[in-house]
Amino acid sequence: MLFNSYLFLFVFLPITFALFHGLRNRSWSAALAAVALLSLAFYASWDPWYLALLVPSLVVNYGLGELIARTRRRVWLVVGVAANLAVIGWFKYSLFLYVTATRSAEAPDFLRDIALPLGISFITFQKIAYLVDVWRGHQKAASFGRFAFFVLFFPQLIAGPIVLFRNFDRQVGRGARPNTAYRAAVYVGVMLFAIGLFKKVVLADSLGYFADELFSFAARPDFEISPGDAWLSALTYSLQLYLDFSAYSDMAIGLGWMFGFRLPTNFNSPYKATSIIDFWRRWHMTLSAFFREYVYIPLGGNRRGVGSQAVFVMVVFLLTGLWHGAGWTFIAWGTIHGVLVLFNHLWSKFVPIRWPRLLAWPATLIAVISLWVVFRAPTWPVALKILEAMAWHAPSTNNRAFAFDVLLYTPAWGLVAILGTAALLMPNSRQLARRLRRDQLFRRPDRKRTLGRPQLWVSAAVTGFLLYIAIASIGSTQTKFIYFNF
Amino acid sequence: MLTLRSNVGASLSSRGLIKFVIGVLVAGGLTHAVTAMSVTAAIEWRYADRIFDIRNWPGSPTDGFRLIGTYLRERLSKLDPPVTMFAGSSVTYGYPWSRSQIFSRRYSEARQTPVVNASVLALDVSGINDWIVCAAVRNKLRVATLIIEVPVINTVAQLAAHHRSSTPAPPMSDCVGIPDPGYAWLAWSRPLGLGWFVFLWDRDATEKPDAVMNLAAVPVGYFTGAADFDAVAPLFDTQIATLIANARTVADRVYLFPSPVFIGGLEQIGEDAASVRAQIARAMTACVQAGGVRCLDASFLGERQDHFTNFTHLNQAGHRALAEWLATQVH
């Protein structure tokens, strides 16, 4: 059941929403339990067998959290982290490791048949963060129900944002709030959800059509790719990935608001970044924060000298690459990002010259876009073929990817131009949400903080437009979110 | 951590929330209305010369099928009689040429007569009957002239496939049914969003330079051999007769011509040219035997490689030649 499906929009969401808000003032625990149980159904809608992994892992992690809090023995933390990594290792990396270790194209059937449970990378990291936080002395779950609600809360269950228990449970522990506050939260949530749904269904999926065609064309050994087609493939995918993943995050955050919970922001206009370090502060912010807090800093961060820092940075980005997928292109993507981040750190530390913004921004953007080619390409040779063409090292300048319908170049480049400009100039969802919350979306910030009539009507008009176009388009374009694959 | 109230930063009364919900619904409704009107205008503007490619329809297949009736109703209501209607497969649709390059348009210019072209790619005789001619019957439409392309190769291949798999070919429609809706009703009742763009995108909209075919082998089984054809020939005759019977109820004059095939090159790629010739001849015979229509023999095109873009599709020169020839044959 995708967020962009009729089943979710017209059956699951209304039922869950009505149950939660109907129960919250009578029994807060019952409201949480209802959402948690329905979230289980939401997860099981892809494959009921996934519950056979999710539920035991939930119980075991809760138990381990209790053990760590009670005994303060490091061994339980090690067991917990190792167990979680073993689960993700088995489901996500066993086939890759086998093929790499044996250098064999043939793997046993039982390895080939392993299906990656949805959201396993996100769920595993949240649980690891919980165990580490409990070990560090943060509050453990007050009850199994509260822990289950944290893990299962459906908006963030499949593809994040990676929520920390300590931040989320603080909101849950406060109990039901006044109705006025919920009404405002629902209003903000619906708008954010509408923006996300529109970004996914209308924008990201449209770009996806072009990106898929272009990468398929590039993968054909009998065709050379022109610089124009190569750039178009890189640009369409870069925008598609950003819009697709940030759309999911917007929807998740919007849904969180609808239930009165604030989920962390995941994107902050990443293509406005003026350095690679800046990019990673803006892209998939909760993953970056996880690696910083639970890997980089515990390893030593920048406290043990430049040499160690270099190693830690590379470890973090190797893990970032691997987290995205078990494949050499992901590892290469992560490693190159690591090298660039390291270079960025060293430059900041040892070279007194600062790049002017006008140079730093395009250089960062080109590096990021080029690396998305490595990320998306099915194989390393295909990635190189596109990158070489992007560097104008191509045998032909004839654009042929859409030779079957040359008119398609118009909407493809048009979308890139419009959405690229929007990604660079328009406020992002985080800023929009902040303005919405402060009632500054359509008026100056110094006005009084009550939702006024003009704002309400304009918000409603925009939301109605976005929801109509998105919902009407679902039938023809319903696709999975890209990050579901990770 | 701030309270939820401070996080949201503003309060909202019940009335405010109700107003917001009403506003969302009204805005959604208005967007739907504007979309529906835009779609209607876009179809009128873009598809005057030939029908959209209904295979792109993103809605239900039944809707797609009924779109032909919708198209015919709308087009015929806007044209002054006497109107010539074209019904056929990919040759009459004009694949892969733009609408200004196809023979129905050139025929219209040559004869200074309004035409409507409701052809659909990849149809066989039963498809032309069930989808196009029955659409006219169902909607009680009538034209002065109906020119039907008989897609011999598609039809024989379909019938032979049924014969080989021992499954009977589905019976042809008796054209009974309720009239189809107009564009406005269609667009109002089908909130498709981006689906409208996908559907109305005309991938053959660009005028392309003409191309002459290269002799290249066709997929195995594309042309049906003599033995298979003999087995299905009686059913082939029946289908043509049924098509003619229905066609005569919607037009004052009906003309049939078998789709041109570049027979001259078939032997060079190892295909059975004699069998294809026999199939076309059989179509002509079936047409004549059915009676009440004029059967046009377009086989003069079949020896002209410079008139084809591949073995079963005309290039622009072919479309010009066919239009000029039809203009002299149709009265």
| pLDDT tens-place string over residues A99-119 | 888 877 777 877 777 777 888
Residue B237 located in a structural domain: yes
Question: Whole-model pTM?
Answer: 0.85
pLDDT of the residue at A112: 78
Q: Which two tokens stand for residue A309?
A: 């820092």
Handedness of CA A21, A23, A26, A31 (dihedral sign): negative
Report how far Cα A1 is from the mean position of its chain's Cα atoms. Answer: 18
Chain A hits for B58, Cβ within 8 Å: 475-476
- Residue A196 CA to residue A246 CA, distance in Å, equals 7
- Residue B110 CA to residue B131 CA, distance in Å, equals 28
Strand B84-87 relative to strand B115-117, pairing = parallel
- Minimum CA–CA partner of B97 in chain A: A405
Q: Which two tokens stand for residue A34?
A: 């209802």
Residue B2 located in a structural domain: no
Residue B78 located in a structural domain: yes
- Quick: pLDDT tens for A148-191: 999 999 999 888 799 999 999 999 998 888 888 888 888 889 99
- Residue A93 CA to residue B45 CA, distance in Å, equals 55
Cβ contact, residue pair A471, B191, below 8 Å: yes
Residues 412-441 of A with CB under 8 A from B: 437-439
> Any idea what DSSP says for residue B308?
E
Cβ contact, residue pair B27, A469, below 8 Å: no
Q: Is B84 helix (H, G, I), strand (E, B) or coil?
A: strand
pLDDT of the residue at A438: 64
- Of A202, A106, A28, residue with least CA distance to B196: A202
- Minimum CA–CA partner of B22 in chain A: A460
Residue A452 has pLDDT above 70, yes or no: no
Contacts of A353 (CB under 8 A, 6+ apart): none
Measured in angstroms, the CA of A324 and the nearest CA of chain B are apart by 30
Torsions phi, psi of B116, nearest 5? -130, 130
Cβ contact, residue pair A202, B17, below 8 Å: no
Would you say A146 and A172 are in contact if contact means Cβ atoms under 8 Å apart?
Answer: yes
Q: In whole angstroms, how far apart are CA B307 and each of A357, B90, B264, B278?
A: 60, 15, 12, 21
- Residue A328 CA to residue A44 CA, distance in Å, equals 31
Q: Within 10 Å of residue B171's Cβ, how many Cβ atoms?
A: 9
- Quick: pLDDT tens for A417-444: 998 888 888 888 878 777 766 654 444 4
Chain A hits for B26, Cβ within 8 Å: 460, 464
Residue type for A308, please? S
Handedness of CA B169, B167, B54, B221 (dihedral sign): negative
Would you say A204 and A365 are in contact if contact means Cβ atoms under 8 Å apart?
Answer: no
Would you say B147 and B84 are in contact if contact means Cβ atoms under 8 Å apart?
Answer: yes
What rounded mean pLDDT belongs to chain A? 88
Find the chain B residues whose C-beta atoms sit closer than 8 A to any C-beta of A.
1, 3-5, 7-14, 16-17, 19-32, 35, 58-59, 191-195, 198, 201, 203, 205-206
Percentage, residues of chain B above pLDDT 90: 60
> Any idea what DSSP says for residue A221?
T
CATH number, residue B140: 3.40.50.1110
- Considering only A279-288, A292-301, A394-403, B284-293, which range has the smallest mean pLDDT? A394-403
Cβ contact, residue pair A407, B206, below 8 Å: yes
Check residue A146 and give left, alpha or beta (phi > 0: left; psi -120 to 50: alpha).
alpha
- Of B130, B117, B124, B155, residue with least CA distance to B64: B130
Residue B6 located in a structural domain: no
Report how far Cα A140 is from the mean position of its chain's Cα atoms. Answer: 26
Peptide bond into B96 cis (omega under 30): yes
Cβ contact, residue pair B193, A449, below 8 Å: no
Percent helix, strand, coil in chain B (nearest 5)? 55, 10, 35
Burial zone of B69 (CB within 10 Å; 0-12 exposed, 13-18 middle, 19+ buried):
buried
User: Which of A110-124, A471-485, B309-323 holds the top average pLDDT?
Assistant: B309-323
Residue B34 located in a structural domain: no
- Minimum CA–CA partner of A467 in chain B: B28
Partner residues linked to B116 by β-bridges: B85
- Residue A215 CA to residue A222 CA, distance in Å, equals 14
Chain A hits for B201, Cβ within 8 Å: 407
- Minimum CA–CA partner of B194 in chain A: A473
pLDDT band at B10 (very low <50, low <70, confident <90, very high): low
Q: Which residue has the tokens 């009632």?
A: A439
Q: Which two tokens stand for residue A225?
A: 């790719």
Strand B251-258 relative to strand B294-295, pairing = parallel
Q: What is the mean pLDDT of the segment spanning A1-7?
A: 86
pLDDT band at A485 (very low <50, low <70, confident <90, very high): low
Active site residue A324: yes
Q: Within 10 Å of residue A177's Cβ, how many Cβ atoms?
A: 18
Cβ contact, residue pair A183, B31, below 8 Å: no
Would you say B295 and B284 are in contact if contact means Cβ atoms under 8 Å apart?
Answer: yes
A323 touches chain B (CB under 8 A): no
Q: Which of B12, B24, B193 sits opposite A180 (nearest CB)?
A: B12
Which string of DSSP letters, residue by residue, matches B2-44? --HHHHH-S---HHHHHHHHHHHHHHHHHHHHHHHHHHHHHHH
Which string of DSSP letters, residue by residue, matches A263-287? PPP--S-GGG-SSHHHHHHHSSHHH
Measured in angstroms, the CA of B273 and the nearest CA of chain A are apart by 30
Residue A289 has pLDDT above 90, yes or no: yes
Q: Which two tokens stand for residue B15?
A: 């009335």
Which residue among the candidates A21, A284, A324, A337 is catalytic per the annotation? Answer: A324
Residues 185-224 of A with CB under 8 A from B: 185-188, 190, 201-202, 206
- Residue A104 CA to residue A422 CA, distance in Å, equals 46
Q: Which of B14, B35, B59 sits opposite A183 (nearest CB)?
A: B14
Burial call A164-175: b when 16+ CB within 10 Å, e when fewer: bbbebbebbeee
Q: Which two tokens stand for residue B42?
A: 């876009």
Strand B313-314 relative to strand B308-310, pairing = antiparallel
Cβ contact, residue pair A262, B22, below 8 Å: no
The CA-CA-CA angle for residues A279, A280, A285, to 5°, reads 120
Cβ contact, residue pair B13, A449, below 8 Å: no
- Minimum CA–CA partner of B35 in chain A: A469
Report how far Cα B229 is from the mean position of its chain's Cα atoms. Answer: 25
A478 touches chain B (CB under 8 A): no
- Minimum CA–CA partner of B18 in chain A: A183
- Minimum CA–CA partner of A448 in chain B: B10
Cβ contact, residue pair A468, B194, below 8 Å: no
Which helix H or strand E contains B257, and what residues bound it?
strand B251-258
Residue A445 has pLDDT above 80, yes or no: no
Report the domain count for chain B: 1
- Residue B273 CA to residue B135 CA, distance in Å, equals 35
Domain extent, residue B211, equals: 49-185+205-329
Peptide bond into A161 cis (omega under 30): yes
Q: Which of A201, A437, A456 sits opposite B23 (nearest CB)?
A: A456
pLDDT band at B2 (very low <50, low <70, confident <90, very high): very low
Q: Which two tokens stand for residue A77?
A: 């933390």
Cβ contact, residue pair A450, B191, below 8 Å: no
Q: Which of B4, B14, B58 sits opposite A181 (nearest CB)?
A: B4
Cβ contact, residue pair B8, A188, below 8 Å: yes
- Residue B221 CA to residue B227 CA, distance in Å, equals 13
Residue A478 has pLDDT above 60, yes or no: no
Handedness of CA A463, A466, A472, A473 (dihedral sign): negative
- Residue A475 CA to residue A85 CA, distance in Å, equals 38
Torsions phi, psi of A24, nearest 5? -60, -35
Cβ contact, residue pair A476, B193, below 8 Å: yes
Q: Is B179 helix (H, G, I), strand (E, B) or coil?
A: coil
Contacts of A161 (CB under 8 A, 6+ apart): A249, A252, A253, A263, A264, A265, A266, A285, A286
pLDDT of the residue at B4: 42
- Quick: pLDDT tens for B103-156: 999 999 999 999 999 999 999 999 999 999 999 999 999 999 999 999 999 999
- Residue B211 CA to residue B97 CA, distance in Å, equals 10
- Of A61, A256, A20, residue with least CA distance to A144: A61
Q: What is the mean pLDDT of the segment spanning B171-190?
A: 88
- Cα first-last separation, chain A: 17
Cβ contact, residue pair A183, B192, below 8 Å: no
Chain A hits for B36, Cβ within 8 Å: none
pLDDT of the residue at B6: 41
Residue B19 located in a structural domain: no
Higher pLDDT, A31 or B270: A31
Q: Is A334 helix (H, G, I), strand (E, B) or coil?
A: helix
Q: In whole angstroms, how far apart are CA B271 and each of A305, B159, B164, B217?
A: 77, 19, 19, 9
Burial zone of A452 (CB within 10 Å; 0-12 exposed, 13-18 middle, 19+ buried):
middle
pLDDT band at A214 (very low <50, low <70, confident <90, very high): very high
- Quick: pLDDT tens for B78-97: 999 899 999 999 999 998 89
Torsions phi, psi of B251, nearest 5? -145, 150
pLDDT of the residue at B331: 79
pLDDT of the residue at B217: 83
Count CA atoms closer than 13 A to B255's CA, side-chain side.
20
Chain B hits for A187, Cβ within 8 Å: 12, 16-17, 20
Partner residues linked to B87 by β-bridges: B148
Q: Which residue has the tokens 């299962």?
A: A152
Sheet holding B294-295, edge to edge: B115-117, B84-87, B143-150, B251-258, B294-295
